[in-house]
């Protein structure tokens, strides 16, 4: 049981390049999330998904796109990378309940945009 | 939307002393409050959580208290040890617009706890 797995772990891009970050979970969770973490700013939600085939915007969605074609996978795309997108990206997943459930995080992807 | 403020941003304590981190939230409908610990270069990991129908919860050296009237909750770590050194995040989870809405967490900005030997 691997939990939440993110690939790649590190990546360096040039401004204007595109890339996709992959998140996979094996806990049969309905909900999946993408966050970015910048120094002194905690975790900010980029996009999330409440189930296969559905996505929604979070707090900081601009410059990112997501897809959830399979329940276990959640992809985050950068169409044209900008230096402001240099950050650590975390994926998380959780069960769906009315009363709230803890989110389980992956190990993160360190992304640098030059 | 929900707004979570966390204080202090940095905290240093002597080994064996207690540490307290406080958070306030804005949405009175929030009903779930987890705390995460993040060691340097690692993922955030849940250490304790509390729901709005409970005022206090303990797990060995860690406890969380919730004051719904004042809209604040606190993390208490007793008998601190060097391995408690990490960044701690609080979060609040308001209910969704409908039963199908995502359980979004709003995080505080984090507290860097350093336990001095």
Tokens of A48: 């999330």
Full pLDDT tens readout for chain A, 114 residues:
679 999 999 999 999 999 999 999 999 999 999 999 998 778 999 999 989 999 999 889 999 999 999 999 999 999 999 999 999 999 999 987 666 788 999 999 999 999
For tokens 């797990």, the residue is B59
Q: What's the CA gap between A44 and A47, in Å, rounded?
A: 10
Does B105 contact A103 at a Cβ distance shorter than 8 Å? yes
Q: What is the pLDDT of residue A100?
A: 73
Asked if residues A78 and A8 have their Cβ atoms less than 8 Å apart, the reply is: no
- Asked if B45 reaches chain A (Cβ–Cβ under 8 Å), the answer is yes
| Span B26-41, average pLDDT | 92
A109-113 and A10-13: which strand pairing?
Answer: parallel
Q: Indicate the average pLDDT of chain B.
A: 91
Test the A interface: residue of B102, B107, B111 with most A CBs within 10 Å: B102
Question: At residue B52, does pLDDT exceed 90?
Answer: no
Per-residue pLDDT tens digits for B70-114: 999 999 999 999 999 999 999 998 766 554 445 678 899 999 999
Q: What is the pLDDT of residue A98?
A: 60
Does A99 contact B31 at a Cβ distance shorter than 8 Å? yes
**A32: nearest CA in chain B?**
B102
For tokens 């949405």, the residue is B27
3-state secondary structure of B91: strand
- Give CA separation, B15 vs A111, B53, B83, in Å: 35, 33, 10
Does B103 contact A31 at a Cβ distance shorter than 8 Å? yes
Q: What's the CA gap between B63 and B76, in Å, rounded?
A: 5
- Asked if B95 reaches chain A (Cβ–Cβ under 8 Å), the answer is yes
| Span B34-60, average pLDDT | 93
Does A42 contact B108 at a Cβ distance shorter than 8 Å? yes
Q: Which residues pair with B77 in a beta bridge?
A: B19, B62
Q: What is the pLDDT of residue B31?
A: 87
CB under 8 Å to A62, separation ≥6 — which residues?
Answer: none
Does A48 contact B104 at a Cβ distance shorter than 8 Å? yes
Asked if residues B5 and B91 have their Cβ atoms less than 8 Å apart, the reply is: no
Q: What's the CA gap between B54 and B74, in Å, rounded?
A: 13
């Amino acid at each position: 049981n691997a939990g939440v797995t993110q690939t790649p772990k590190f990546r360096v891009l040039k401004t204007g390049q595109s890339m996709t970050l992959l998140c996979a979970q094996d806990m049969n969770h309905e909900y999946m999330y993408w966050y970015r973490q910048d120094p002194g700013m905690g975790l900010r939600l980029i996009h999330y998904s409440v189930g296969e085939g559905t996505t929604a915007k979070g707090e900081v969605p601009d410059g990112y796109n997501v897809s959830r074609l399979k329940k276990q996978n959640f992809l985050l795309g950068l169409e044209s990378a900008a230096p402001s997108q240099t950050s650590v990206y975390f994926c998380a997943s959780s069960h769906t309940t009315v009363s709230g459930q803890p989110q389980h995080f992956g190990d993160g992807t360190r992304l640098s945009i030059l | 939307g929900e707004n979570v403020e966390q204080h202090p941003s940095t905290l240093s304590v002597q080994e064996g002393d207690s540490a307290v981190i406080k958070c306030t939230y804005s949405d009175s409908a929030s009903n779930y409050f987890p705390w995460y610990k993040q060691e340097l270069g690692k993922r955030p990991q849940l250490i304790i959580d509390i729901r709005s129908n409970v005022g206090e919860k303990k797990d060995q050296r860690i406890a969380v208290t919730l004051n719904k009237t004042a809209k604040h909750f606190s993390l208490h770590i007793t008998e601190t040890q060097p391995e408690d050194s990490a960044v701690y995040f609080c979060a609040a989870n308001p209910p969704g617009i409908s039963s199908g809405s995502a359980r979004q967490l709003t995080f505080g900005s984090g507290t860097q706890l350093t336990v001095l030997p």
